[in-house]
Amino acid sequence: MSESPKSGAIQVTGEVLSMRRAGDYFVLTLTAPGIPERARPGHFVALAVGGVTSSALLRRAFSIYTVQSRGVYGGTLEVVFAVHGAGTEWMSGLHRGQQVDIVGPLGKPFMLPKNPVPCVLVAGGYGSAPMFMLADALRARGCRVDLVFGAATESKLFGVLEAKRVAASITITTDDGSVGERGRVTDVLPAIMKRTDADVVYACGPMGMLREVARVATEHGAYSQCAVEESMACGIGICMTCVLPVIGQDGITRMVRSCVDGPIFRGDRVRWDDVDTIPDDVYGAPVKGGH
């Protein structure tokens, strides 16, 4: 069982408080008694979709956007999602008062620096969702926080207005130039790192972006913390579907579960180019004839 009453995951039935549109995304607010006080920046929740007789059995995982442990409704949390398939389609039709089975908080949260060092937070699309709790936690430690948000187009950015309140600066990039600078987050990142003398880079977004952010961070001698996106069936470490090759402290690469060993990994530990493969030198790799 949990080491302390305020850690570890729990399963609760939440109730929908609100659903609102935000550009191309949806923001879902749920009651989630017990989860907010356990949640740390970078944690995620796994929601069952379609109700108790649903034919969609696999949980959908979402970074926690906000939590409130007190208030009229007790503990509440918010997640941001895009409609990708039948599960998120069902979620987008949720109404106030409907019940949703929630498991969380899950995963390992972002690691925070002990000292008040400058940090750059990089997000692609709605990968910005977990960055607000993170920015608050970093600022509470006296860290300077600069944000870089990128997306294909303006409607696929999330939380730009709010970002201005939590950061010393925000830089926006879009692929089509509809807002901010035309290009990718990694086009502007080196200059921002140099200007802020950043020691830590935090990133959440598509795997390709994470790989590039980790590379830039390492080139600048900074430490990176990347929230990976792997498809999961359970979110709690029992199905073994969400693995990726990560180098351990002993230098050995293992296929680790992004749900319980991540989703936050050191950028220089993930073998980005080998994701979706079994590298030859991975622990337990196939030998003679394979498997």
Partner 1 sequence: MTRAVITHSPREQDARVTPRVDMSTTLARLELPSPVLTASGCAAAGRELDQFFDITTIGAVVTKSIMMNPRSGRPTPRMAETPSGMLNSIGLQGPGIDSFLENDLEWLRRRGARAVVSIAGGSIDEYTRLASRLRHVPDIAAIEVNISCPNVESRGQVFACDPIAAAEVIASVRRNTAPGIPVLAKLSPDVTDIVAIAKAVVGAGADGLSMINTLLGMVIDTNTMRPALAGVTGGLSGPAIRPVAVRCIYQVHAQLPNVPILGMGGIRTGNDALEFVLAGASAVSVGTATFNDPSAPVRVAKELAIALAERGFARFEDAIGYAHRTPEPLAAPGGVVAVHPVNPEDDIADSDIRGGVEG
3-state secondary structure 26-74: EEEEEECCCCHHHCCCCCEEEECCCCCCCCCCCCEEEECCEEECCCCCC
249 forms part of the interface with partner 1 (CB under 8 A):
no
Site string for partner 1, 207-236 (x = CB under 8 A): -----------------------xx-xx-x
- The interface with partner 1 within residues 103-162 (CB under 8 A) comprises 103
**Angle separating helix axes 207-219 and 185-196, nearest 10 degrees:** 30
Question: 163 or 243, CB closer to partner 1?
Answer: 243
- The interface with partner 1 within residues 25-44 (CB under 8 A) comprises 33-34
48 forms part of the interface with partner 1 (CB under 8 A):
yes
CA atoms of 121 and 137, how far apart (whole Å): 12
Task: Using CB under 8 A, pick the residue from 260, 266, 269, 271 that binds partner 1.
Answer: 260
Q: Which H or E run contains 216?
A: helix 207-219
- Please, what is the minimum distance in Å from the beta carbon of residue 16 to partner 1? 16
CA 125 to chain centre: 11
69 forms part of the interface with partner 1 (CB under 8 A):
no
Q: Which H or E run contains 263?
A: none
Question: 34 or 262, CB closer to partner 1?
Answer: 34
Task: Using CB under 8 A, pick the residue from 16, 17, 19, 58 that binds partner 1.
Answer: 58
52 forms part of the interface with partner 1 (CB under 8 A):
yes
DSSP 188: H
Question: 221 or 284, CB closer to partner 1?
Answer: 284
- Please, what is the minimum distance in Å from the beta carbon of residue 51 to partner 1? 10
Task: Using CB under 8 A, pick the residue from 97, 221, 251, 289 that binds partner 1.
Answer: 289
CA atoms of 58 and 23, how far apart (whole Å): 27
- Please, what is the minimum distance in Å from the beta carbon of residue 39 to partner 1? 15
Q: Which spans of this chain sit near partner 1 (rule: CB under 8 A)? A: 1-2, 5, 8-13, 33-34, 48, 52-53, 55-59, 101, 103, 230-231, 233-234, 236-244, 254-255, 260, 275-278, 282-286, 289-291
